[in-house]
Structure formats: structure tokens, C-alpha cells
Amino acid sequence: MARDTVLTISISYVLVATDMIYAQHLTSCLPDPPLDLLYPGVLVFAVGLAGNFYHHCLLSQLRTTKQGGGGGGGGEKAYKIPTGGLFGLVTCPHYLFEIIGFFGFAMIAQTVHALAVAAGTAAYLAGRSCATRRWYESKFEDFPENIKALVPYVL
């Protein structure tokens, strides 16, 4: 991933986290919600975090290099269709689990702001996953038609 992309994404996450902490602070004087979603939210967040981590590990194992003619280890990167986990059902399961994690956080926070952040993240990553699926279709003639972009059997 390009350094400026990593920097942009990292800054975005820091700003969103800071903003959500501040929004949570502003709600401290309000009464607690009638239904406490803290523990289910922690569970949903943990599932999202674990799934995202697992699928990123699978993606990192794809980073191979085509060998150059001299056998010196240099060469160009080779792209592969990811396998394992939910990659047989969707092109971006790591995005799906990231969305699950954000909704888990929204359950923990129980604020409209946290829900809006989760919904915005879901919309953004849904668009990214559809674009990724189109990219795979353009690069691989044998890309399976039954693999969806983000949600198994649906999207």
C-alpha cells in the first residue's frame, strides 16, 4: 500500500476515534439508555476485530514475487485471487468484518453519532468492495461469478 494512503487512512482513524470519544464525553450527563448493549457490543466488536485480522493475515500470505530471469529474487509482484476464510464467498471479507467491528462499537457507545459513523463506514467500504470485485473481474478471466463483493449471497 502506498505510504500516503496509509497515512491518510491512519489519520482518518485517529480523527474518527477522537471525535467519537468527544461525542461520548458530551453524552455523559444524559441518562443511560434503557437497554444496555455493552456486553453484546463488546462481543460483536471482538468478532469484527478477529475476522478482520484473520482475513488480513490471509491477504498478507499472497504477497509473492515472480522470479526474474537471473534467479536473484527480484521481479514484479504477482496478483492472485485470495482463498481461505470467507474469500470463497466475497472479495472483501476483511471489509465485512471491519463493518461488523464498527457496529459493535456503535452498540457499546449507544449514540446516534457512533451509529452514523458505523453506517458511513459501511457505505464507504461497500463501495470499495464493489470496486475491488470489478477489478478482480477485469484482471482474472476465471474469476468466479458466484463470489459477491461484501455480503455472502447478497452483495
Strand partners, 65: 77
The whole-number pLDDT of residue 41 equals: 96
Per-residue pLDDT band for 67 (boundaries 50, 70, 90) equals very low
**99 burial level (CB within 10 Å; 0-12, 13-18, 19+):** buried
- pLDDT, average across residues 115-133: 95
The whole-number pLDDT of residue 76 equals: 58
Whether the Cβ atoms of residue 44 and residue 102 lie closer than 8 Å to each other: no
Q: Is 35 left (phi over 0), alpha (psi -120 to 50) or beta?
A: beta
Per-residue pLDDT band for 143 (boundaries 50, 70, 90) equals very high
The whole-number pLDDT of residue 74 equals: 53
Per-residue pLDDT band for 25 (boundaries 50, 70, 90) equals confident
